[in-house]
Structure 1
Amino acid sequence: MTMACSPFFSPCLGSLWSTKPTKHLPCHLSTPFQYSNKREFPLAAVASVPYIPANVDYLETQFSGHGVTFEGIGDSYVVKMGLENGSLASLMLPSGLITSYKAPMWHGGTLEVLHTTVTEEDSGAVIQGGVSLALECESDGGISWSPSSWILQDVRGNAEELIQVEMVSSDSENMAEAKYIVTLQQDIISSEIVISNLKSLPLQLTGSVISHLTVSNLDATYAIGLEGSNFFSRTPFLSNFGLIPPDFGQKNEVGSSQLWGQPGIRRFLSGSNAKNQNNADQVERIKKEEMEGEEEDNYKQLSSEMSRIYTSAPRNFTVIDRGRRNSVVVGRDGFKELYMFSPGSTHECYSKYTYICVGQSAVLKPIILGPEDVWRGGQHLHNPNL
């Protein structure tokens, strides 16, 4: 059974957990992709920091008065943040997955901004969507590490102004330290990452912050402000929290997956061995022409299947859902690339695949940290609907 968080069922996570408080949820699922010169981004191996289940009663006492409450779920727990103006957010640990962000609207109520699903399987409940991190740090020595298990370090602020939750993750090789700071304000939720290179050698960082934004239907959803931005079509980012329809890319031309099935490509691949190199060169030329482009629409409808990395997009752009009469301003810091994914409008409204995915990324061009350098990056989801 799959349940999608929508205006018809926004509290799906809380209602599921409250009925099964002792059931273990596999929330250590954030296995990020590995950077490659190829067009696919395979899952990387994870060296997780051992996680000790939190004492919820202790956390309630330690951080009382900061506008947060805690709920234990098996070996995991949820940090629930709430402001007096109605802004609410839920964060799971140790995975660091933001499962919910409810923002106040112009009509006086609140609206769920994020798209999260819970699927019951034999092994337990599988959670996908929300806002998640997919990062990989790699040293010159070939040692790689992906922060995926987060430990709560501090909670700051109050329910009147803002609430800030700080988490930390370190690798066993003492190569790097990662901090993840989630800040809830009256009209914005921010995800900030701080990576510290602890070694005397350079460190390469690849990955992204990926957000699933729920929408009424993709025919009524538009991206505003991307006109003139250069992009590359790419296969979707792979993440254990990601939602990718099983038939994605089979109906529309997305990246090279559909391109390889075209008759022209098959003709290039046929023929004698003497022509193989020329055929391969022509295939690469066609694929390059197909995959590179420049955004022509300033008011782009997101009804078609797409998976793109924009390399020259503005730091802020707006997603409008005319069906729900709301909008979200998506902003980034530190990251140079914008990832955008749409599953297409062929799916039922308010279903598992009625969402768009945006990500602030460093995939085509990794970030290089010098010895003992510190890098900061993040994403902001701003609610302009008050």
Structure 2
Amino acid sequence: MQVELICTSSDGKIEAKYMVTLQEDLLTSEIKIFNLGMASFRMTGSVLSHLTVSTPEASYAVGLQGSDFFSNPPFLADFSIIPPAFGKTKNQPSKKSFGEIFSSWGTKNQSPEKIAEKELEGEETDNYKHLTDDMSKIYKNAPRNFTLIDRGRRNSVVVGRDGFKEVYLLSPGSRHESYGRYSYICVGQAALLQPIIIESQSEWRGKQSLHNPNM
């Protein structure tokens, strides 16, 4: 089964096609961007999937060791499923919501103090990354394929990408009810830190695949 969505900019210079294909053991999401204008086009964004798990405490990301990461609070969208206390330690007061502070990525008018508070860069040292704590990370040089394992459901998904250079990974943490609203892992292919440049009269393609080897 395949569903295709097409969107064109108001001036007709940019056309985007989004195709979702479902097979028995494979779900793919593919984006095609056509730059019909005379100038290059700079694009940022991501393709996100929310995968149901028993609980993040029983979930692991396998194969990300050695990848550079950038930690940042999750960006918000109409389909976001973010716990209200995400990123806060117990008894930590809340002065503002994430929507007020982090309404968009890469805001240019932020002070250096605010940037220093929320930014954290490093290298992933764990090849069997336990997702029990809340986390929101962009991996900049991750392998093209890695695996998400849910030991509670005894299930796994191989996450693959093409065209995108970054991987986004979010865990809401394990302080919530098992098999509940926040029992998921959000994963996506992204261009958030390094924009994709599409030259004039050219086409770009990006793809995410979710393969269940257990079926």
> Deviation per CA, 1:12-50, whole angstroms, max 9, x where unpaired?
xxxxxxxxxxxxxxxxxxxxxxxxxxxxxxxxxxxxxxx
Match runs of 1:189-338 below 5 Å: 189-251=27-89, 287=117, 291-338=120-167
Aligned equivalents of 1:308 and 1:325: distance in 2? 25
Runs of 5+ unmatched residues, structure 1 = 1-162, 258-279
Q: Quote the offset at 1:285 in angstroms.
A: 9.7
> Deviation per CA, 1:314-333, whole angstroms, max 9, x where unpaired?
01100000000110111111
Q: Quote the offset at 1:200 in angstroms.
A: 0.3
Aligned residue in 2 for 1:350: 179
Aligned residue in 1 for 2:101: none
> Deviation per CA, 1:53-92, whole angstroms, max 9, x where unpaired?
xxxxxxxxxxxxxxxxxxxxxxxxxxxxxxxxxxxxxxxx
Q: Compared with structure 1, are the counterparts of its residues 320 and 202 closer, same or farther at alpha carbon in structure 2 (3 Å cutoff)?
A: same
Aligned equivalents of 1:185 and 1:285: distance in 2? 42
Q: Quote the offset at 1:175 in angstroms.
A: 2.1
Aligned equivalents of 2:13 and 2:83: distance in 1? 36
Tell me whether 182-191 or 304-313 shows the greater mean CA deviation: 182-191
Q: Quote the offset at 1:341 in angstroms.
A: 0.6
The one-letter amino acid paired with 2:161 is R
Match runs of 1:1-386 below 5 Å: 163-251=1-89, 287=117, 291-386=120-215
Task: Give % identity.
Answer: 59
The one-letter amino acid paired with 2:34 is S
Runs of 5+ unmatched residues, structure 2 = 96-110
Aligned equivalents of 2:20 and 2:204: distance in 1? 16
Q: Which has the larger radius of gyration?
A: 1
> Deviation per CA, 1:104-135, whole angstroms, max 9, x where unpaired?
xxxxxxxxxxxxxxxxxxxxxxxxxxxxxxxx
**CA RMSD across the alignment:** 2.0
Question: Which structure has more RCO (C-alpha within 8 Å, separation ≥ 6)?
Answer: 2
Aligned equivalents of 2:57 and 2:38: distance in 1? 51
The one-letter amino acid paired with 1:343 is P
The one-letter amino acid paired with 1:302 is L
Aligned residue in 2 for 1:148: none
Aligned residue in 1 for 2:99: none
Q: Quote the offset at 1:238 in angstroms.
A: 1.6
Aligned equivalents of 2:8 and 2:191: distance in 1? 20
Aligned residue in 2 for 1:82: none
Aligned residue in 2 for 1:97: none
The one-letter amino acid paired with 1:244 is I
Aligned equivalents of 1:299 and 1:224: distance in 2? 5
Q: Quote the offset at 1:229 in angstroms.
A: 0.6
More helix by share: 1
Q: Quote the offset at 1:186 in angstroms.
A: 2.8
Q: Compared with structure 1, are the counterparts of its residues 208 and 285 closer, same or farther at alpha carbon in structure 2 (3 Å cutoff)?
A: closer
Q: Quote the offset at 1:167 in angstroms.
A: 2.3
3-state SS in 2 of match to 1:219: helix
> Deviation per CA, 1:300-324, whole angstroms, max 9, x where unpaired?
1100010100001001100000000
Q: Quote the offset at 1:284 in angstroms.
A: 8.1
Aligned length: 196
Aligned residue in 2 for 1:151: none
More strand by share: 2
